[in-house]
Amino acid sequence: MARDTVDSTPIETVADLAATLEAGCKPKEDFRIGTEHEKFGFNIADLTPIPYEGPRGVEAVLTGMEKLLKWERIEDLGKIIGLADPVGGGAISIEPGGQFELSGAPLDNLHQTCRETNQHLAQVREVADPLGVGFLGTGMAPTWRRDDVPKMPKSRYEIMRRYMPKVGKYGLDMMHRTSTIQVNLDFCSEADMVAKMRIGLALQPIATAIFANSPFTDGQPNGYKSFRAEIWNDLDADRTGNLPFAFEDGFGFERYVEWALDVPMYFVKRGDTYYDATDVTFRSFMNGALDGRVPDAKPTLGDWNNHLSTLFPDVRLKKYIEMRGADGGPWRRICALPALWVGLLYDDGVLDQAWQLVRDWTEEERAALRRDVPKTALQTPLRSGTVLDVAKEVLALSKEGLRRRNRLSEGDLDESVHLAAVEEGLAAGMCPADVLLKRYGGTWEGDISRIFKDYAY
């Protein structure tokens, strides 16, 4: 999220809050694709993480991007923390450890998404190369200790840093040493939202396995294919997980709101000041729990939208749906992740087939997948086969959905071309982490530093 909102529209009831989500419904012809990806900045000379300040820091890169793009500066207490495109709707922001994120504009098709990605990476290199800064696409920083990673000057992050160690083992690692690719997708009705949420939640571990790309921690193999996904298994259970209630009868906008209301808050923002609210839920905030502690303590739409942005389930609901299960990766994977989900969810026929694939999975099976996939990825057992078997079915469905959309490139190729990286990996039975580990044990001869050369953008 590039900037926290300050919308002062008052809210009073659960129905008010549900209406803010329902307002995301739009006609199918207006469906868009919003792709986000993060990457680690490093000093090319010594492969250390770049700081915020200094001639080769995050601040310098952001300032260079501001001059290049002419986008609007986003500041926090006088420090530049991001940029917003005043025309197209995209944004650049920084995560707690300096991960550099593009939140892409809402686009019509995946050809546009891939062009946007390529253009952004080229622009980042244009600014960063003269500074001696490179960028790496993996799910977790492979060599840096947590204490080595600089902390970015965003007020909300200071509140999170104090709170995270109280509610899980890996919160600070998630903040400072992980990166992701995610896609934001639309829905046309409450029923359409429910179908997409359920399919997304069920298949999120499959996507995690396909894109698993974080097998190294602290300079050595960590025993996992996606240690980033393992981190989410021990990180603030109140606001994470695969939302079992989404599969219950009656799930809809109000049920999601009821869950969100009982999640502890992080902060309330008034003006430029962030007030710590980690000891209250949003429901108690609505009942006056912050009266006298923050100015204008009556909850607003801005407070609600900020709260929704601090919930981290595997699939997150706002005025759109966010698919959050994939590790960061090389540029072809940045295009492939949205392609996978668009193919599954934006064609009604394929959407129905995807639901048939997962509808009889039990909560125990879904939970086991979420627990086991971080370690064994595509080789994770599932019923009489493996996750690889399901991943191949998912790929076939996605390709069919993209073909049916029939959004053609200038070369008359449909969007399924952007699934090539996934298709190659599944044909070989390997996720990106498998390839990394093979190189580590082979041509790299145990030298993990090679990843910064071979996998930099």
- pLDDT band of residue 6 (cuts 50, 70, 90) is low
Distance CA 277, CA 275 (A): 6
Helix axes 363-376, 387-405, angle to 10 degrees: 100
The domains located in the chain, with CATH, are: 14-454 (3.30.590.20)
How large a percentage of the chain has pLDDT more than 90?
97
Q: How big is the chain, counted in residues?
A: 457
Q: Mean per-residue pLDDT for 350-363?
A: 98
Interacting residues of 203 by C-beta distance below 8 A, sequence separation 6+: 344, 354, 358, 394
How far apart are alpha carbons 9 and 23 in whole angstroms?
15
Which tokens sit at 301? 């739409």
Question: What does the pLDDT read at residue 5?
Answer: 64
Confidence (pLDDT) at 8 = 85
State the average pLDDT over residues 299-312.
96
Predicted confidence (pLDDT) at residue 4 exceeds the cutoff of 90: no
Listed in sequence order, the residues at least 6 apart from 412 whose beta carbon sits closer than 8 Å to its beta carbon are none
Q: Mean per-residue pLDDT for 50-55? A: 98
Span 437-453, mean pLDDT? 97
Instruction: State the DSSP H helix or E strand holding residue 96, giving kind and residue range, or none if neither.
Output: none
**Average pLDDT for 186-198:** 98
Check residue 1 and give its pLDDT: 47
Across 301-339, b (16+ Cβ under 10 Å) vs e yields bbbbbbbbbbbbbbbbbbbbbbbbbbbbbbbbbbbbbbb
Mean pLDDT (the chain, rounded): 97
As a whole number, mean pLDDT of residues 318-322 equals 98
Residue 120 has pLDDT above 70, yes or no: yes
Helix (H, G, I), strand (E, B) or coil at 50: coil
Question: What average pLDDT does this structure show over 8-23?
Answer: 93
Q: What percent of the chain has pLDDT over 70?
A: 99
Q: How far apart are CA 282 and CA 301, in angstroms?
A: 12
Would you place residue 3 in the very low, low, confident or very high pLDDT band (cuts 50, 70, 90)?
A: low
List 140's β-bridge partners, or say none.
178
- Over range 88-94, report the average pLDDT: 95
Tell me what pLDDT residue 12 has. Answer: 85
Q: What is the pLDDT of residues 361-414, one digit of tens each?
A: 999 999 999 999 999 999 999 999 999 999 999 999 999 999 999 999 999 999
Among 434, 349, 350, residue whose Cα is nearest residue 388: 434
* Closest C-alpha to 82, from 38, 119, 118, 141: 38
Distances (CA, A) of 377 to 27, 113, 120, 192, 327: 36, 27, 30, 29, 12
